[in-house]
Amino acid sequence: MNETIRAWQMQATKTLDVRPILANGGEPFVLILETATLLRAGDSLLLTAPFEPVPLYAALAARGFTHRTESVNTGEWWVLFTRS
């Protein structure tokens, strides 16, 4: 795991790995939004997904979040969403 991801793990208020949900045919969108809603200004959600979750960028930006994205391996994307 690279240094960026390690730093994000230490910074994150909440972490959520949606790969198992998606692998079982589930849809984690609502869970992600519910988890993000609990965060306060300055808090971060570290999301792990099997693909770049582009639709989440606009959905969470509308709720006051910025994001940083890192592709670690094929099928492994990490996104740090931080509430402004």
pLDDT in tens, 6-62: 999 999 999 999 999 999 999 999 999 999 999 999 999 999 999 999 999 999 999
Task: Determine, yes or no, domain membership for 83.
Answer: no
| Predicted TM-score of the model (pTM) | 0.94
Q: Which of 59, 64, 57, 56 is nearest to 40 (CA)?
A: 64
Task: Determine, yes or no, domain membership for 27.
Answer: yes
Task: Determine, yes or no, domain membership for 81.
Answer: no
Task: Determine, yes or no, domain membership for 79.
Answer: no
Average pLDDT over residues 67-80: 95
* DSSP letters for 61-74: HTTTEEEEEEEEET
Task: Determine, yes or no, domain membership for 31.
Answer: yes
Structural domains in the chain (count): 1
Instruction: Work out the number of other CB atoms within 10 angstroms of the CB of residue 8.
Output: 19
Q: 18 lies in which domain range?
A: 1-41+53-71
What's 13's DSSP letter? S
Task: Determine, yes or no, domain membership for 46.
Answer: no
Q: Which of 52, 21, 16, 19 is nearest to 37 (CA)?
A: 16
Q: Are 40 and 9 in contact (CB under 8 A)?
A: no
Q: Would you state the pLDDT for residue 58?
A: 97
